[in-house]
Structure 1
Protein backbone atom coordinates (compact mmCIF):
# COMPACT_ATOMS: atom_id res chain seq x y z
CA UNK A 1 0.00 0.00 0.00
CA UNK A 2 1.38 3.43 -0.92
CA UNK A 3 1.34 5.87 1.98
CA UNK A 4 1.45 8.90 -0.36
CA UNK A 5 -1.77 10.93 -0.24
CA UNK A 6 -3.12 13.98 -2.06
CA UNK A 7 -3.29 17.28 -0.21
CA UNK A 8 -6.21 19.69 -0.85
CA UNK A 9 -4.11 21.59 -3.40
CA UNK A 10 -3.27 18.38 -5.27
CA UNK A 11 0.33 17.99 -4.01
CA UNK A 12 1.42 14.54 -2.88
CA UNK A 13 2.78 13.97 0.59
CA UNK A 14 3.73 10.91 2.60
CA UNK A 15 1.24 9.92 5.29
CA UNK A 16 2.54 8.95 8.74
CA UNK A 17 3.83 5.39 8.71
CA UNK A 18 2.43 2.67 10.92
CA UNK A 19 4.76 1.63 13.71
CA UNK A 20 5.86 -1.59 11.96
CA UNK A 21 6.36 0.26 8.69
CA UNK A 22 8.48 2.88 10.43
CA UNK A 23 10.57 0.14 12.04
CA UNK A 24 11.13 -1.41 8.62
CA UNK A 25 12.18 1.94 7.23
CA UNK A 26 14.69 2.42 10.05
CA UNK A 27 16.08 -1.08 9.51
CA UNK A 28 16.45 -0.43 5.79
CA UNK A 29 18.30 2.85 6.39
CA UNK A 30 20.60 1.19 8.96
CA UNK A 31 21.33 -1.67 6.57
CA UNK A 32 22.02 0.73 3.70
CA UNK A 33 24.35 2.78 5.93
CA UNK A 34 26.34 -0.34 6.78
CA UNK A 35 26.52 -1.65 3.24
CA UNK A 36 27.44 1.69 1.66
CA UNK A 37 30.14 2.14 4.30
CA UNK A 38 31.54 -1.33 3.63
CA UNK A 39 31.21 -1.58 -0.14
CA UNK A 40 30.48 1.84 -1.65
CA UNK A 41 27.53 3.09 -3.67
CA UNK A 42 27.24 0.08 -5.95
CA UNK A 43 25.10 -1.80 -3.41
CA UNK A 44 21.66 -2.73 -4.77
CA UNK A 45 18.21 -2.91 -3.19
CA UNK A 46 18.38 -6.73 -2.99
CA UNK A 47 21.48 -6.58 -0.80
CA UNK A 48 19.93 -3.88 1.38
CA UNK A 49 16.77 -5.93 1.81
CA UNK A 50 18.75 -9.04 2.76
CA UNK A 51 20.82 -7.14 5.36
CA UNK A 52 17.70 -5.46 6.77
CA UNK A 53 15.79 -8.75 6.96
CA UNK A 54 12.90 -7.56 4.79
CA UNK A 55 11.64 -8.33 1.32
CA UNK A 56 12.93 -6.24 -1.56
CA UNK A 57 9.35 -5.09 -2.19
CA UNK A 58 9.38 -3.48 1.25
CA UNK A 59 12.48 -1.48 0.28
CA UNK A 60 10.75 -0.24 -2.87
CA UNK A 61 7.65 0.74 -0.89
CA UNK A 62 9.67 2.76 1.57
CA UNK A 63 12.04 4.30 -1.02
CA UNK A 64 10.98 5.20 -4.53
CA UNK A 65 14.48 4.97 -5.99
CA UNK A 66 18.19 4.78 -5.26
CA UNK A 67 18.48 8.54 -4.83
CA UNK A 68 15.92 8.60 -2.02
CA UNK A 69 17.65 5.77 -0.14
CA UNK A 70 21.10 7.32 -0.61
CA UNK A 71 19.93 10.64 0.80
CA UNK A 72 18.47 8.94 3.88
CA UNK A 73 21.47 6.67 4.45
CA UNK A 74 24.10 9.38 4.01
CA UNK A 75 22.34 12.14 5.96
CA UNK A 76 24.08 11.45 9.29
CA UNK A 77 27.57 10.71 7.86
CA UNK A 78 27.39 13.94 5.85
CA UNK A 79 26.55 15.92 8.99
CA UNK A 80 29.70 14.51 10.61
CA UNK A 81 31.68 15.62 7.56
CA UNK A 82 30.23 19.13 7.74
CA UNK A 83 31.04 19.33 11.47
CA UNK A 84 34.73 18.67 10.76
CA UNK A 85 34.68 21.30 8.02
CA UNK A 86 33.09 23.91 10.29
CA UNK A 87 35.67 23.25 13.01
CA UNK A 88 38.47 23.59 10.46
CA UNK A 89 37.12 26.91 9.19
CA UNK A 90 37.03 28.29 12.73
CA UNK A 91 40.76 27.85 13.43
CA UNK A 92 42.75 31.11 13.79
CA UNK A 93 45.70 29.68 11.88
CA UNK A 94 44.66 28.45 8.44
CA UNK A 95 47.32 25.73 8.32
CA UNK A 96 45.88 24.22 11.50
CA UNK A 97 42.48 24.28 9.82
CA UNK A 98 43.81 22.56 6.70
CA UNK A 99 45.45 19.89 8.83
CA UNK A 100 42.28 19.34 10.84
CA UNK A 101 40.15 19.22 7.70
CA UNK A 102 42.37 16.75 5.83
CA UNK A 103 43.01 14.41 8.75
CA UNK A 104 39.46 14.54 10.10
CA UNK A 105 37.81 14.08 6.71
CA UNK A 106 40.24 11.30 5.81
CA UNK A 107 39.30 9.37 8.95
CA UNK A 108 35.60 9.67 8.11
CA UNK A 109 36.06 8.66 4.47
CA UNK A 110 38.23 5.67 5.37
CA UNK A 111 35.48 4.42 7.68
CA UNK A 112 32.76 4.88 5.04
CA UNK A 113 33.53 4.08 1.40
CA UNK A 114 30.09 5.21 0.28
CA UNK A 115 30.56 8.59 1.94
CA UNK A 116 33.93 8.88 0.22
CA UNK A 117 32.52 8.09 -3.21
CA UNK A 118 29.60 10.48 -2.71
CA UNK A 119 31.68 13.34 -1.32
CA UNK A 120 34.60 13.08 -3.75
CA UNK A 121 33.06 11.47 -6.80
CA UNK A 122 30.68 14.09 -8.13
CA UNK A 123 27.40 12.45 -7.12
CA UNK A 124 25.43 15.67 -6.71
CA UNK A 125 22.81 14.20 -9.06
CA UNK A 126 22.07 11.51 -6.47
CA UNK A 127 22.79 13.39 -3.25
CA UNK A 128 22.22 17.14 -3.75
CA UNK A 129 24.47 19.46 -1.75
CA UNK A 130 26.66 16.48 -0.93
CA UNK A 131 29.72 18.65 -0.39
CA UNK A 132 27.85 21.17 1.78
CA UNK A 133 30.02 24.13 0.76
CA UNK A 134 33.27 22.33 1.68
CA UNK A 135 35.09 23.27 -1.57
CA UNK A 136 34.43 26.96 -0.88
CA UNK A 137 35.56 26.53 2.71
CA UNK A 138 38.73 24.79 1.51
CA UNK A 139 39.47 27.61 -0.93
CA UNK A 140 39.07 30.08 1.94
CA UNK A 141 41.52 28.13 4.08
CA UNK A 142 44.08 28.09 1.27
CA UNK A 143 43.65 31.82 0.72
CA UNK A 144 44.26 32.54 4.40
CA UNK A 145 47.16 30.07 4.54
CA UNK A 146 48.83 31.85 1.61
CA UNK A 147 48.42 35.19 3.36
CA UNK A 148 49.94 33.67 6.49
CA UNK A 149 52.84 32.20 4.49
CA UNK A 150 52.11 28.59 5.41
CA UNK A 151 51.49 26.86 2.05
CA UNK A 152 53.80 26.42 -0.90
CA UNK A 153 53.24 28.31 -4.11
CA UNK A 154 50.86 26.69 -6.58
CA UNK A 155 48.86 24.33 -4.33
CA UNK A 156 45.07 24.50 -4.03
CA UNK A 157 41.95 22.59 -3.06
CA UNK A 158 42.23 20.25 -6.05
CA UNK A 159 45.44 18.88 -4.57
CA UNK A 160 43.59 18.03 -1.36
CA UNK A 161 40.86 16.21 -3.30
CA UNK A 162 43.41 14.03 -5.08
CA UNK A 163 45.26 13.43 -1.81
CA UNK A 164 42.03 12.19 -0.23
CA UNK A 165 41.52 9.73 -3.09
CA UNK A 166 45.09 8.47 -2.75
CA UNK A 167 45.14 7.87 0.98
CA UNK A 168 41.60 6.45 1.20
CA UNK A 169 42.34 4.03 -1.63
CA UNK A 170 45.49 2.95 0.20
CA UNK A 171 43.42 2.43 3.34
CA UNK A 172 41.08 0.05 1.48
CA UNK A 173 43.96 -2.20 0.45
CA UNK A 174 45.88 -1.95 3.74
CA UNK A 175 42.91 -2.53 6.05
CA UNK A 176 43.73 -6.19 6.78
CA UNK A 177 47.47 -5.59 7.04
CA UNK A 178 48.01 -2.18 8.63
CA UNK A 179 44.72 -0.33 9.24
CA UNK A 180 46.42 2.92 10.24
CA UNK A 181 48.95 2.99 7.37
CA UNK A 182 47.03 5.75 5.60
CA UNK A 183 47.79 8.18 8.44
CA UNK A 184 51.52 8.06 7.68
CA UNK A 185 50.92 9.06 4.07
CA UNK A 186 48.32 11.66 4.97
CA UNK A 187 50.98 13.34 7.11
CA UNK A 188 53.62 13.05 4.38
CA UNK A 189 51.32 14.48 1.71
CA UNK A 190 50.19 17.31 3.96
CA UNK A 191 53.81 18.19 4.60
CA UNK A 192 54.25 18.44 0.84
CA UNK A 193 51.72 21.30 0.79
CA UNK A 194 53.57 23.31 3.41
CA UNK A 195 55.79 26.26 2.54
CA UNK A 196 59.54 25.72 2.51
CA UNK A 197 62.37 27.54 0.82
CA UNK A 198 63.82 24.21 -0.35
CA UNK A 199 60.71 23.04 -2.23
CA UNK A 200 61.02 22.30 -5.95
CA UNK A 201 58.51 24.06 -8.23
CA UNK A 202 55.31 22.11 -8.81
CA UNK A 203 54.26 20.99 -12.31
CA UNK A 204 51.11 22.54 -13.78
CA UNK A 205 47.96 22.08 -11.65
CA UNK A 206 44.90 20.10 -12.71
CA UNK A 207 41.92 22.00 -14.13
CA UNK A 208 38.37 21.77 -12.74
CA UNK A 209 37.13 19.50 -15.52
CA UNK A 210 40.14 17.22 -15.19
CA UNK A 211 39.67 16.81 -11.45
CA UNK A 212 35.94 16.13 -11.91
CA UNK A 213 36.60 13.50 -14.59
CA UNK A 214 39.28 11.74 -12.53
CA UNK A 215 37.11 11.78 -9.41
CA UNK A 216 34.05 10.38 -11.19
CA UNK A 217 36.09 7.59 -12.77
CA UNK A 218 37.60 6.70 -9.40
CA UNK A 219 34.16 6.60 -7.74
CA UNK A 220 32.67 4.62 -10.62
CA UNK A 221 35.51 2.10 -10.41
CA UNK A 222 34.83 1.70 -6.69
CA UNK A 223 31.16 0.96 -7.42
CA UNK A 224 31.93 -1.44 -10.27
CA UNK A 225 34.26 -3.40 -8.01
CA UNK A 226 31.14 -4.44 -6.09
CA UNK A 227 29.65 -6.13 -9.16
CA UNK A 228 30.42 -9.90 -9.25
Structure 2
Protein backbone atom coordinates (compact mmCIF):
# COMPACT_ATOMS: atom_id res chain seq x y z
CA UNK A 1 0.00 0.00 0.00
CA UNK A 2 2.80 2.35 0.86
CA UNK A 3 4.57 1.53 -2.40
CA UNK A 4 1.43 2.26 -4.46
CA UNK A 5 0.78 5.61 -2.81
CA UNK A 6 4.40 6.60 -3.33
CA UNK A 7 4.38 5.50 -6.96
CA UNK A 8 1.13 7.23 -7.90
CA UNK A 9 2.21 10.83 -7.26
CA UNK A 10 5.62 10.13 -8.81
CA UNK A 11 4.00 8.83 -11.99
CA UNK A 12 1.74 11.88 -12.10
CA UNK A 13 4.75 14.16 -11.67
CA UNK A 14 6.64 12.31 -14.40
CA UNK A 15 3.63 12.51 -16.72
CA UNK A 16 3.27 16.24 -16.08
CA UNK A 17 6.99 16.78 -16.66
CA UNK A 18 6.90 14.85 -19.93
CA UNK A 19 3.86 16.81 -21.08
CA UNK A 20 5.65 20.07 -20.33
CA UNK A 21 8.77 18.90 -22.22
CA UNK A 22 6.60 18.03 -25.22
CA UNK A 23 4.86 21.42 -25.11
CA UNK A 24 8.19 23.24 -25.02
CA UNK A 25 9.69 21.05 -27.76
CA UNK A 26 6.58 21.35 -29.90
CA UNK A 27 6.55 25.09 -29.69
CA UNK A 28 10.27 25.27 -30.53
CA UNK A 29 9.88 23.08 -33.62
CA UNK A 30 6.65 24.72 -34.80
CA UNK A 31 8.32 28.11 -34.31
CA UNK A 32 11.21 27.12 -36.58
CA UNK A 33 9.49 24.95 -39.17
CA UNK A 34 5.75 25.65 -39.01
CA UNK A 35 2.92 23.19 -38.43
CA UNK A 36 4.20 20.50 -40.79
CA UNK A 37 6.41 19.01 -38.05
CA UNK A 38 5.28 15.57 -36.86
CA UNK A 39 4.59 14.40 -33.32
CA UNK A 40 7.46 11.92 -33.71
CA UNK A 41 9.81 14.84 -34.37
CA UNK A 42 8.51 16.61 -31.29
CA UNK A 43 9.09 13.50 -29.16
CA UNK A 44 12.68 13.18 -30.38
CA UNK A 45 13.32 16.88 -29.79
CA UNK A 46 11.87 16.61 -26.28
CA UNK A 47 14.01 13.59 -25.48
CA UNK A 48 11.06 11.31 -24.72
CA UNK A 49 9.85 8.14 -26.36
CA UNK A 50 7.30 8.28 -29.15
CA UNK A 51 4.97 6.13 -27.05
CA UNK A 52 5.21 8.64 -24.21
CA UNK A 53 4.31 11.44 -26.60
CA UNK A 54 1.19 9.62 -27.77
CA UNK A 55 0.15 8.94 -24.18
CA UNK A 56 0.28 12.66 -23.42
CA UNK A 57 -1.25 13.75 -26.76
CA UNK A 58 -3.34 11.41 -28.91
CA UNK A 59 -2.17 13.19 -32.06
CA UNK A 60 -0.43 16.32 -33.25
CA UNK A 61 -3.68 18.30 -33.28
CA UNK A 62 -4.02 17.87 -29.51
CA UNK A 63 -0.48 19.19 -29.04
CA UNK A 64 -1.22 22.18 -31.29
CA UNK A 65 -4.38 22.88 -29.29
CA UNK A 66 -2.42 22.90 -26.03
CA UNK A 67 0.18 25.24 -27.52
CA UNK A 68 -2.58 27.44 -28.95
CA UNK A 69 -4.06 27.80 -25.48
CA UNK A 70 -0.75 29.13 -24.17
CA UNK A 71 -0.39 31.46 -27.13
CA UNK A 72 -3.88 32.83 -26.53
CA UNK A 73 -2.97 33.48 -22.91
CA UNK A 74 0.12 35.42 -24.00
CA UNK A 75 -1.81 37.52 -26.53
CA UNK A 76 -4.58 38.11 -23.99
CA UNK A 77 -2.03 39.42 -21.47
CA UNK A 78 -0.66 41.79 -24.11
CA UNK A 79 -4.16 43.03 -24.93
CA UNK A 80 -4.96 43.68 -21.28
CA UNK A 81 -1.68 45.57 -20.94
CA UNK A 82 -2.61 47.63 -24.00
CA UNK A 83 -6.04 48.41 -22.57
CA UNK A 84 -4.48 49.39 -19.24
CA UNK A 85 -2.40 52.13 -20.92
CA UNK A 86 -3.80 55.55 -20.09
CA UNK A 87 -3.05 56.75 -23.63
CA UNK A 88 -5.08 54.70 -26.16
CA UNK A 89 -2.59 55.25 -29.00
CA UNK A 90 0.27 54.02 -26.83
CA UNK A 91 -1.85 50.98 -26.02
CA UNK A 92 -2.49 50.26 -29.70
CA UNK A 93 1.22 50.51 -30.53
CA UNK A 94 2.08 48.31 -27.53
CA UNK A 95 -0.35 45.63 -28.72
CA UNK A 96 0.99 45.60 -32.29
CA UNK A 97 4.66 45.64 -31.27
CA UNK A 98 4.46 42.94 -28.62
CA UNK A 99 2.14 40.59 -30.48
CA UNK A 100 4.19 40.91 -33.66
CA UNK A 101 7.39 40.23 -31.71
CA UNK A 102 5.87 36.90 -30.64
CA UNK A 103 4.63 36.00 -34.12
CA UNK A 104 7.88 37.03 -35.84
CA UNK A 105 9.91 34.50 -33.85
CA UNK A 106 7.23 31.79 -33.85
CA UNK A 107 6.19 30.58 -37.29
CA UNK A 108 3.66 28.17 -35.83
CA UNK A 109 1.95 30.99 -33.94
CA UNK A 110 1.85 33.12 -37.09
CA UNK A 111 0.24 30.28 -39.04
CA UNK A 112 -2.36 29.71 -36.34
CA UNK A 113 -3.03 33.45 -36.07
CA UNK A 114 -3.67 33.54 -39.82
CA UNK A 115 -6.13 30.65 -39.61
CA UNK A 116 -3.69 27.98 -40.79
CA UNK A 117 -4.81 25.46 -38.17
CA UNK A 118 -6.77 22.26 -38.58
CA UNK A 119 -9.29 22.58 -35.72
CA UNK A 120 -11.94 25.25 -36.44
CA UNK A 121 -13.56 24.77 -33.02
CA UNK A 122 -10.36 25.68 -31.19
CA UNK A 123 -9.75 28.57 -33.57
CA UNK A 124 -13.26 29.84 -32.83
CA UNK A 125 -12.59 29.65 -29.09
CA UNK A 126 -9.53 31.86 -29.50
CA UNK A 127 -11.46 34.25 -31.71
CA UNK A 128 -14.27 34.66 -29.20
CA UNK A 129 -11.74 35.26 -26.47
CA UNK A 130 -9.43 37.73 -28.21
CA UNK A 131 -11.41 39.52 -30.92
CA UNK A 132 -13.46 41.69 -28.53
CA UNK A 133 -10.23 42.87 -26.88
CA UNK A 134 -8.60 43.72 -30.22
CA UNK A 135 -11.74 45.61 -31.23
CA UNK A 136 -11.64 47.49 -27.94
CA UNK A 137 -8.00 48.52 -28.49
CA UNK A 138 -8.96 50.03 -31.85
CA UNK A 139 -12.16 51.56 -30.50
CA UNK A 140 -10.36 53.35 -27.66
CA UNK A 141 -7.83 54.85 -30.07
CA UNK A 142 -10.58 55.96 -32.46
CA UNK A 143 -12.65 57.50 -29.67
CA UNK A 144 -9.58 59.40 -28.47
CA UNK A 145 -9.09 60.85 -31.95
CA UNK A 146 -5.70 59.16 -32.33
CA UNK A 147 -6.66 56.43 -34.82
CA UNK A 148 -8.21 57.34 -38.14
CA UNK A 149 -11.98 56.91 -38.01
CA UNK A 150 -12.19 54.28 -40.75
CA UNK A 151 -9.80 51.77 -39.12
CA UNK A 152 -11.21 48.82 -37.16
CA UNK A 153 -9.90 45.97 -35.05
CA UNK A 154 -9.99 43.62 -38.03
CA UNK A 155 -7.62 45.96 -39.88
CA UNK A 156 -5.11 45.43 -37.07
CA UNK A 157 -5.42 41.66 -37.51
CA UNK A 158 -4.67 41.77 -41.23
CA UNK A 159 -1.76 44.13 -40.69
CA UNK A 160 -0.26 41.57 -38.32
CA UNK A 161 -0.69 38.82 -40.90
CA UNK A 162 1.09 40.98 -43.48
CA UNK A 163 3.99 41.84 -41.18
CA UNK A 164 4.34 38.20 -40.14
CA UNK A 165 4.82 37.36 -43.82
CA UNK A 166 7.62 39.95 -44.01
CA UNK A 167 9.23 38.35 -40.95
CA UNK A 168 9.02 34.90 -42.57
CA UNK A 169 10.68 36.16 -45.76
CA UNK A 170 13.52 37.69 -43.76
CA UNK A 171 14.02 34.51 -41.73
CA UNK A 172 14.05 32.25 -44.79
CA UNK A 173 16.33 34.43 -46.87
CA UNK A 174 20.12 34.33 -46.99
CA UNK A 175 22.20 36.44 -44.67
CA UNK A 176 23.01 39.90 -45.99
CA UNK A 177 26.55 41.17 -45.69
CA UNK A 178 26.80 44.13 -43.38
CA UNK A 179 23.33 43.64 -41.91
CA UNK A 180 22.53 41.77 -38.70
CA UNK A 181 19.04 43.22 -38.26
CA UNK A 182 17.03 41.62 -41.06
CA UNK A 183 14.94 39.60 -38.60
CA UNK A 184 13.63 42.97 -37.40
CA UNK A 185 12.71 44.11 -40.92
CA UNK A 186 8.98 43.78 -40.22
CA UNK A 187 9.32 46.59 -37.65
CA UNK A 188 10.23 49.07 -40.38
CA UNK A 189 6.94 48.42 -42.16
CA UNK A 190 5.05 48.45 -38.90
CA UNK A 191 6.23 51.99 -38.23
CA UNK A 192 5.41 53.07 -41.79
CA UNK A 193 1.93 51.62 -41.26
CA UNK A 194 1.54 53.32 -37.87
CA UNK A 195 2.05 56.68 -39.55
CA UNK A 196 -0.76 55.74 -41.93
CA UNK A 197 -3.03 54.74 -39.07
CA UNK A 198 -2.81 58.02 -37.21
CA UNK A 199 -5.79 60.34 -37.42
CA UNK A 200 -3.66 63.49 -37.73
CA UNK A 201 -2.08 62.60 -41.09
CA UNK A 202 -4.90 63.80 -43.44
CA UNK A 203 -5.49 60.20 -44.60
CA UNK A 204 -6.53 59.17 -48.08
CA UNK A 205 -9.94 57.59 -48.60
CA UNK A 206 -9.58 53.82 -48.43
CA UNK A 207 -10.63 51.95 -51.61
CA UNK A 208 -12.81 49.31 -49.89
CA UNK A 209 -14.58 48.93 -46.57
CA UNK A 210 -13.09 46.83 -43.76
CA UNK A 211 -14.32 43.33 -43.07
CA UNK A 212 -16.49 42.83 -40.03
CA UNK A 213 -15.24 40.59 -37.24
CA UNK A 214 -17.47 37.76 -38.48
CA UNK A 215 -16.30 38.21 -42.08
CA UNK A 216 -12.67 38.26 -40.99
CA UNK A 217 -12.95 34.95 -39.16
CA UNK A 218 -14.87 33.39 -42.03
CA UNK A 219 -11.97 34.30 -44.31
CA UNK A 220 -9.39 33.00 -41.84
CA UNK A 221 -11.16 29.70 -41.14
CA UNK A 222 -8.86 26.74 -41.80
CA UNK A 223 -9.23 25.38 -45.31
CA UNK A 224 -9.41 21.72 -46.25
CA UNK A 225 -5.72 21.89 -47.16
CA UNK A 226 -4.87 23.30 -43.74
CA UNK A 227 -6.84 20.53 -42.03
CA UNK A 228 -5.00 17.92 -44.10
CA UNK A 229 -1.67 19.45 -43.06
CA UNK A 230 -2.33 18.94 -39.35
CA UNK A 231 -4.35 15.72 -39.57
CA UNK A 232 -2.68 12.96 -37.57
CA UNK A 233 -2.88 10.51 -40.47
CA UNK A 234 -1.58 12.90 -43.10
CA UNK A 235 1.90 12.54 -44.56
CA UNK A 236 4.11 15.49 -43.82
CA UNK A 237 7.76 16.17 -44.24
CA UNK A 238 9.83 16.48 -41.14
CA UNK A 239 12.62 19.03 -40.66
CA UNK A 240 15.06 16.35 -41.81
CA UNK A 241 13.18 15.85 -45.07
CA UNK A 242 11.77 12.38 -44.38
CA UNK A 243 8.08 11.62 -44.65
CA UNK A 244 5.98 10.53 -41.69
Query: So what's the TM-score if we normalise by structure 2?
Result: 0.74
After TM superposition, the runs of 4+ consecutive aligned structure 1 residues lying more than 6 A away are none
Distance 1:62 1:158, change over 3 A: same
| Residue 99 (structure 1) aligns with | 93
Residue 134 of structure 1, aligned match among 130, 134, 137: 130
Alignment of 1:73-222 (within 5 A): 73-121=67-115, 123=117, 124-126=120-122, 129-131=125-127, 133-175=129-171, 177=175, 178-196=182-200, 198-208=202-212, 210-216=215-221, 220=226
RMSD, aligned CA: 2.9
Q: Per the alignment, in what secondary structure is the counterpart of residue 129 of structure 1?
A: helix
Note the residue ranges of structure 1 that are not aligned, 5 or more in a row. Answer: 1-14
Residue deviations 1:155-186 (CA, integer Å, cap 9, x gap):
11111111101111111111254111111111
Q: Would you say the 8 A contact 1:119–1:130 is kept in 2?
A: no
Alpha-carbon offset, residue 134 of structure 1: 2.5
Query: So what's the TM-score if we normalise by structure 1?
Result: 0.78
Q: Which has the higher contact order (CA 8 A, sep 6+)?
A: 2
Alpha-carbon offset, residue 212 of structure 1: 3.1
Alpha-carbon offset, residue 114 of structure 1: 1.6
Greater Cα offset, 108-117 or 203-212? 203-212
Alpha-carbon offset, residue 49 of structure 1: 1.9
| Residue 7 (structure 1) aligns with | none
Distance 1:60 1:49, change over 3 A: same
| Residue 31 (structure 2) aligns with | 37
